[in-house]
Amino acid sequence: MLIFLFEHLLLALVIASLIGVYLAKGRDELMRVLVVGLKNVPGMGGVISSVLKSEATNFIKQTPIGGGGGKLPGMKIPEKGISHEELRKKLLAMKEKEIDHEKGQIFAYTYTLRDDHYNLQKDVFDMFTEKFGNSENHEEIVREFHLAFLHENALNPMIYPCLRQMETEVISMTASMLHGDENAVGFMTSGGTESILMAVKTFRDRAKKLYPHIKNPEIIAPRTQHPVMAKAAHYFGLTIKHVPVGPDYKADVKAMEKAIGPNTILMACSAPQFCHGIVDPIEELSTLALKHGIPLHVDACFGGFMLPWVEKLGYQVPKWDFRCPGVSSISADIHKYGYCVKGASAIMYRDSELRKYQIFTYAEWPGGLYGSPSMAGTRPGANIAAAWASMLALGEEGYMSKAKELMDITASLKEGVQKIDGLTVIGEPHMTCFALGSNDPDVHILAVADVMETKGWKMERNQKPDSLHCSILPHHKASSDQVLADLAESVNTVRNDKGLQKKGTAGIYGMMATIPDKAIINDFITEFFSEIYTLK
């Protein structure tokens, strides 16, 4: 009886309080108080979210792009690539459903001069197309679709339904490739950097909502994690805690667990790490993530569009994707081994509840309701269209063929490197890249790089330990024999001239390694970028 009376008294007090708000501040403030109050009532947050989702779905169905039912069906990368002629027909069919901005019926988003100025841009962009020859050349169809959407903007998904459909299908195909289920979702971005920035922003915002007591959020990552993870932490006010890797150059799972603390909101790893082409022990890290209830991001910007096909070819590739239940998100670049033009990547999430934290919204602008799923406001439609065309044109068969060709070249190069006295391959790489180091104290590997550059090669340098990174690309088919010959010759040159290790980049890296205060080196890098882009 007392409980019953208490509940009625509490209800009366709440009603009186709401009436007071209404009389003092009006209807709008009353509605705000009601909504905020209801969201904080246990169980009501989910109800409100469900209602909002239903309203959003109904709104989409009422728009021109959603008249056919709103949501688009999922799809996989086709087993066989679609012919270029069929892709052109699909494009024309989609374009017929949208407003042509050149008729002057759109009042934002597209700024195009359809005149000689436009033709100049077209010619400059496409000036090399004719050298690719027949109409079934992959590079040509990618350029063609890129050019078709060169001035279109995916900022508003209701303006260009084609772009919305293409992006949704690109994400759906990527999710399937990464073994995501029907719940896996994502967005396209401009590249790996933006994809990882968005992942960090997502998990930061998730932590803010779920764990508001965490004031100094932290990311745990192995030392080999791409620097963009540190860049994202810097941009978004997080701290990144790097842990050592093992002698196999893989993330040390025990060290990762030891680094977990009360402020940890995210763990990160790579598939593969770029330095040496080695996949981290993601199955074990997945188990660790589930044990501690911490999201795990896999940076597969480099390998996301190669490892699935390498595994299907029969090579030993450890599980690294959404088959690992602790993996929350994956970044994968379409403009790398997806063979698309630069400016196309995907950030993937296990489910839409995670993805929602990526979206930025602003409802107070006089210019209208604003929402954006990426760092960029303007989202170039050309890159979305090019990615869509690239994936459909190649299909699984095309990707498998290219993966086999590049893995064969990689195997040949690694075998050739091991035969050169003084050189060795670092660790056990998993795909179309490797790092080569020196196993002879008389052969300074960075001095070898300097000599190679005098022969016309551009070498990528690693440190800790010193080594040379080699990503194997389609054009290496023509140069693999020559690079091995020049490497052998360069090793002999360095072995016979000890002074080379004190010159060039070998000397600079050697000097940098002796400086205990790395802030000085960071200042040097800042000065370098400042000066190299400074006019005379």
DSSP string, 452-500: HHHTT--PEEETTTTEEEEE--GGGGTTHHHHHHHHHHHHHHHHT-GGG
**Residue 72 pLDDT level (bands cut at 50, 70, 90):** confident
Q: What are the C-alpha distances in Å from 196 to residues 326, 333, 347, 357, 488?
A: 18, 11, 7, 14, 38
Tell me how far apart the alpha carbons of residues 510 and 305 are, in angstroms, rounded to a whole number: 36
307 or 49, which is more confident: 307
Query: In the predicted model, is pLDDT for residue 44 greater than 70?
Result: no
Tokens of 287: 């188990």
Tell me how far apart the alpha carbons of residues 82 and 221 are, in angstroms, rounded to a whole number: 40
Tell me how far apart the alpha carbons of residues 235 and 384 are, in angstroms, rounded to a whole number: 26
Q: Is residue 359 classed as helix, strand or coil in its secondary structure? A: coil
Crossing angle for the helix pair 381-418 and 84-95, to the nearest 10 degrees: 150
132-149 pLDDT, tens digit each: 333 457 877 787 777 777
Query: In the predicted model, is pLDDT for residue 160 greater than 60?
Result: yes
106 or 186, which is more confident: 186
Tell me how far apart the alpha carbons of residues 223 and 249 are, in angstroms, rounded to a whole number: 9
Tell me how far apart the alpha carbons of residues 184 and 178 are, in angstroms, rounded to a whole number: 9
Q: Is residue 109 classed as helix, strand or coil in its secondary structure? A: coil
Question: What was the pLDDT predicted at 192?
Answer: 96
CB 429 within 8 A of CB 278: yes
Question: What was the pLDDT predicted at 515?
Answer: 66
Residue in the structure block whose two tokens are 């400059």: 124
Query: In the predicted model, is pLDDT for residue 16 greater than 70?
Result: no
Q: Residue 18, exposed/middle/buried by CB under 10 A (0-12, 13-18, 19+)? A: middle
Query: In the predicted model, is pLDDT for residue 128 greater than 80?
Result: no
253-265 pLDDT, tens digit each: 999 999 999 999 9
Query: In the predicted model, is pLDDT for residue 470 greater than 90?
Result: yes
Query: In the predicted model, is pLDDT for residue 204 greater than 80?
Result: yes
Pick the CATH number of 407-532 from 3.40.190.10, 3.90.1150.10, 3.40.50.970, 3.40.50.300: 3.90.1150.10
CB 324 within 8 A of CB 283: yes
278-312 pLDDT, tens digit each: 999 999 999 999 999 999 999 999 999 999 999 99
Crossing angle for the helix pair 192-210 and 228-236, to the nearest 10 degrees: 40
- 26-30, 205-209, 402-406, 496-500: lowest mean pLDDT where? 26-30
- What percent of the chain shows pLDDT beyond 90? 57
Question: What was the pLDDT predicted at 140?
Answer: 78
327-370 pLDDT, tens digit each: 999 999 999 999 988 899 999 999 999 999 999 998 888 988 88
Tell me how far apart the alpha carbons of residues 395 and 76 are, in angstroms, rounded to a whole number: 9
- 110-114, 312-316, 425-429: lowest mean pLDDT where? 110-114
Q: What are the C-alpha distances in Å from 83 to residues 87, 344, 393, 395?
A: 6, 22, 6, 10
Query: In the predicted model, is pLDDT for residue 424 greater than 90?
Result: yes
Tokens of 314: 């029969």
Tokens of 192: 């790996």
Q: What is the mean pLDDT of residues 505-515?
A: 66
**Residue 129 pLDDT level (bands cut at 50, 70, 90):** very low
CB proximity list for 348: less than 8 A, separation 6 or greater: 171, 174, 175, 178, 180, 184, 185, 186, 322, 329, 330, 331, 332
Q: What is the mean pLDDT of residues 137-164?
A: 78
Question: What was the pLDDT predicted at 377?
Answer: 84
Question: What was the pLDDT predicted at 62?
Answer: 59
CB 276 within 8 A of CB 434: yes
Q: What is the mean pLDDT of residues 476-480?
A: 89
Average pLDDT in the chain: 84
420 or 86, which is more confident: 420
Tell me how far apart the alpha carbons of residues 372 and 421 are, in angstroms, rounded to a whole number: 55
Query: In the predicted model, is pLDDT for residue 100 greater than 50?
Result: yes
Identify residue 207 by its one-letter amino acid code: A
Q: What is the mean pLDDT of residues 216-243?
A: 97
The pTM of this model reads 0.84
Segment holding 386, helix H or strand E:
helix 381-418
Tell me how far apart the alpha carbons of residues 100 and 90 are, in angstroms, rounded to a whole number: 17
Q: How far is CA 302 from the centre of its chain?
A: 9
Query: In the predicted model, is pLDDT for residue 488 greater than 80?
Result: yes
Query: Of 46-55, 183-192, 497-506, where does the model show the most confidence?
Result: 183-192
Question: What was the pLDDT predicted at 66?
Answer: 47
- 79-88, 239-248, 262-271: lowest mean pLDDT where? 79-88
Query: In the predicted model, is pLDDT for residue 118 greater than 90?
Result: no
Question: What was the pLDDT predicted at 520?
Answer: 75
Tell me how far apart the alpha carbons of residues 357 and 1 are, in angstroms, rounded to a whole number: 45
**Residue 122 pLDDT level (bands cut at 50, 70, 90):** low
425-462 pLDDT, tens digit each: 999 999 999 999 999 999 999 999 999 999 999 999 99
Question: What was the pLDDT predicted at 321?
Answer: 98
